């Protein structure tokens, strides 16, 4: 029988429900349990695909092409399992589906209401995830208890314990225990009010996780236990940590996985925990010997969560080479008019990540040119690959008007274009290329050496492609199209063999990096950056020397 853990939050948003849920998932997996996860989001958007990254953070993409909430990135990185589009449900998608059923007559003319129709749809989404064969499904409910928009989700998970059986459901509630400097005390009243609000909706939490900037004393735990009606061992202190990768071991010391297993009737003797692999990650995190400066030139750098997976991938690669990576967020619009080019030259590596829209494009092109001409290791991701292609066309091929038709329909050198444009088709529509796509890498190329294979699969999220009409010109000038789609029509990877590291991919490799298995392309960049920082001749790291994700 599949077990379910529902994680709710109270008092304040941004307390770390996603990281707490992910850490719990890692602990349960370390006990030999098969774990999967999903997120219930209260916003009315059908999915995050059309949401502004500067407001909501990155859009995470699953193998099957789902555009999902960024918390799924935390889930995958911590539990090291590939999730699907079913792992993210929004209010918009729920209502859209219910209304479609009503229009088709599926409800046989009955009055359609929040209870039971909306709640039944939410429960069905949870059941689908549970039907995939996991021992434990961890379900995070977005928002904060008390928010009006999450009421249907709270009601659904209340009903779920009755549907699945009391012994198959565990409720974990995350709250804030603030420290008030004038009184010199930590206060439990916000936690008490939050639990009261949750109980008013019919849910008694089994575990309370208390977020704070310092440990919760045994006295405070006893107080919370008494006033919130949970066992004292079910009051868990979750203090701020130096690294997010410390959280699983901290929560294990506090007994979170133990109390959850006991609540769900999981035999601890049959499932002893093995944290050795995770402890090895934590050891690497805290035992670096050098610091590298990696610049990320993008449009949404005022909200780093817009590039959350990129940032974590940089850190993963840093752990592997024994380096702390200091990320410098550079606003593309300010390059090079406000950001001195000397600042870019002082970086150990540069990344231009994905994005949509014209804003900041010329600054990205300027950054790519500095990286190419000054021999600074560079990784272009999706739009970042297209940027390096445009820059190379302008300044090496002499095509001064080179551009992407996404930004200039009037360009006389459309080196990046829609497939329809490349084939002289009048219908320029078509959907975005989303999800996992295979690619064939050239033998002897930089990317084939990094991956250690010539057949790879990466996740995509884009519409525009390298214009194959220009491929011969690029390769004659020294830019190698080192990876293509299996039919050879789409260019997936480009590189400059003469450069220490100038590599681009049309995909989003950041979605497949793991803390114990850094992605090969990020590993290559950070390795080249380390060599640059040390002042030695650049080289590419041997992919066999470190476990690399493929």
Active site residues: 382, 508, 510
* Widest CA span in the chain: 75
Strands 433-441 and 480-484: antiparallel
Distances (CA, A) of 308 to 236, 298, 311, 391, 513: 27, 12, 5, 26, 12
Q: Report the alpha-carbon distance of residue 327 to residue 336 in Å, rounded.
A: 19
Q: Report the alpha-carbon distance of residue 287 to residue 282 in Å, rounded.
A: 9
Asked if the bond preceding 108 is cis, omega within 30° of 0, the reply is no
Q: Report the alpha-carbon distance of residue 299 to residue 333 in Å, rounded.
A: 7
Nearest to 399 by CA among 411, 408, 388, 409: 411
Distances (CA, A) of 314 to 22, 142, 522: 20, 27, 6
Crossing angle of helices 520-534 and 308-320, rounded to 10°: 60
Which DSSP string corresponds to 247-287?
A: HHHHHHHTTHHHHHHHHHT--TTTS----HHHHHHHHHHT-
Nearest to 152 by CA among 3, 15, 21, 40: 40
């Amino acid at each position: 029988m599949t077990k379910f853990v529902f994680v709710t939050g109270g008092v304040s948003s941004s307390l770390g429900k996603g990281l707490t849920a992910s850490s719990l998932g890692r602990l349960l997996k370390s006990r030999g349990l098969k774990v999967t996860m999903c997120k219930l989001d209260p916003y009315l958007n059908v999915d995050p695909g059309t949401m502004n990254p500067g407001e909501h953070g990155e859009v995470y993409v699953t193998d099957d092409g789902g555009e999902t909430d960024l918390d799924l990135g935390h889930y995958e990185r911590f539990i090291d399992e590939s999730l699907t589009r079913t792992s993210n449900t929004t209010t918009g998608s729920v209502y859209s589906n219910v209304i479609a059923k009503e229009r088709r007559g599926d409800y046989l003319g009955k009055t359609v209401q929040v209870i039971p129709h909306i709640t039944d749809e939410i429960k069905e989404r949870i059941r689908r995830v549970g039907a995939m064969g996991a021992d434990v499904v961890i379900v995070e409910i977005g928002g904060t208890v008390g928010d009006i928009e999450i009421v249907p989700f709270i009601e659904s998970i209340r009903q779920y314990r009755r549907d699945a059986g009391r012994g198959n459901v565990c409720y974990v509630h995350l709250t804030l225990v603030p420290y008030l400097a004038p009184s010199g005390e930590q206060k439990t009243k916000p936690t008490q009010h939050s639990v009261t609000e949750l109980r008013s909706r019919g849910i008694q939490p089994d575990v309370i996780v208390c977020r704070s900037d310092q440990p919760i004393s045994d006295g405070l735990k006893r107080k919370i236990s008494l006033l919130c009606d949970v066992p004292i061992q079910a009051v868990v202190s979750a203090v701020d940590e130096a690294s997010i990768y410390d959280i699983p071991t901290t929560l294990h010391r506090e007994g979170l996985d133990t109390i959850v297993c006991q609540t769900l009737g999981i035999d601890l003797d049959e499932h002893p925990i093995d944290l050795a692999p995770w402890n090895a990650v934590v050891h690497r995190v805290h035992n670096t010997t050098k610091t590298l400066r990696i610049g990320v030139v993008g449009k949404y750098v005022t909200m780093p969560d817009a590039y959350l997976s990129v940032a974590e991938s940089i850190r993963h690669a840093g752990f592997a080479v024994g380096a702390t990576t200091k990320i410098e967020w550079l606003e593309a619009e300010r390059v090079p008019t406000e950001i001195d080019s000397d600042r870019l030259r002082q970086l150990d590596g540069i990344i231009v990540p994905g994005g949509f829209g014209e804003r900041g494009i010329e600054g990205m092109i300027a950054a790519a040119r500095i990286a190419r001409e000054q021999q600074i290791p560079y990784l272009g991701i999706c739009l970042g690959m297209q940027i390096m292609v445009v820059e190379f066309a302008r300044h090496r091929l002499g095509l001064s008007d080179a551009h992407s038709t996404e930004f200039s329909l009037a360009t006389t050198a459309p080196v990046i274009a829609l497939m329809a444009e490349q084939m002289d088709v009048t219908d320029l529509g078509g959907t975005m290329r989303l999800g996992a796509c295979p690619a064939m890498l050239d033998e002897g190329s930089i990317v084939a050496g990094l991956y250690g294979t010539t057949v790879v699969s990466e996740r995509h999220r884009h519409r525009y492609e390298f214009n194959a009409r220009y491929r011969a010109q690029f390769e004659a000038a020294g830019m190698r199209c080192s990876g293509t789609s299996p039919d050879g029509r789409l260019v997936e990877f480009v590189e400059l063999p003469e450069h220490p590291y100038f590599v681009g991919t049309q995909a989003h490799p950041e979605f497949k990096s793991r803390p114990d298995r850094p992605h090969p392309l990020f590993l290559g960049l950070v390795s080249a950056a380390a060599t640059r920082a040390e002042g030695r001749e650049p080289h590419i790291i041997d992919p066999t020397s470190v476990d690399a994700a493929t």
